[in-house]
Amino acid sequence: MVEEDRYCIDVLTQISAIQAALDKVALGLLDDHVGHCMSHGRNEGREDEVRTEMMAAVGRLMRRG
């Protein structure tokens, strides 16, 4: 779009839509992690390790931008 010299607001709107879609994917992955990996970690006695890993991932998602 930039190479085609499209209106800047249209480009920004598309970027926003892409970011929203990626956020939705990220939340789905986190949901799966909570439901699957955290459950396994708890059963294996690694609950704190898995929780720390998940919170670090959430922190990285929140810091973008």
**Most confident residue range from 8-17, 24-33, 48-57:** 8-17
Closest CA to 30 of 63, 59, 6, 8: 59
The pTM is what?
0.68
What pLDDT, in 10s, does the model give residues 2-24? 889 989 999 999 999 999 999 99
| Contact by Cβ (8 Å): 8, 17 | no
Q: What angle do CA 39, 45, 48 make, to 5 degrees?
A: 80
Mean confidence (pLDDT) of the chain: 90
pLDDT, position 9: 96
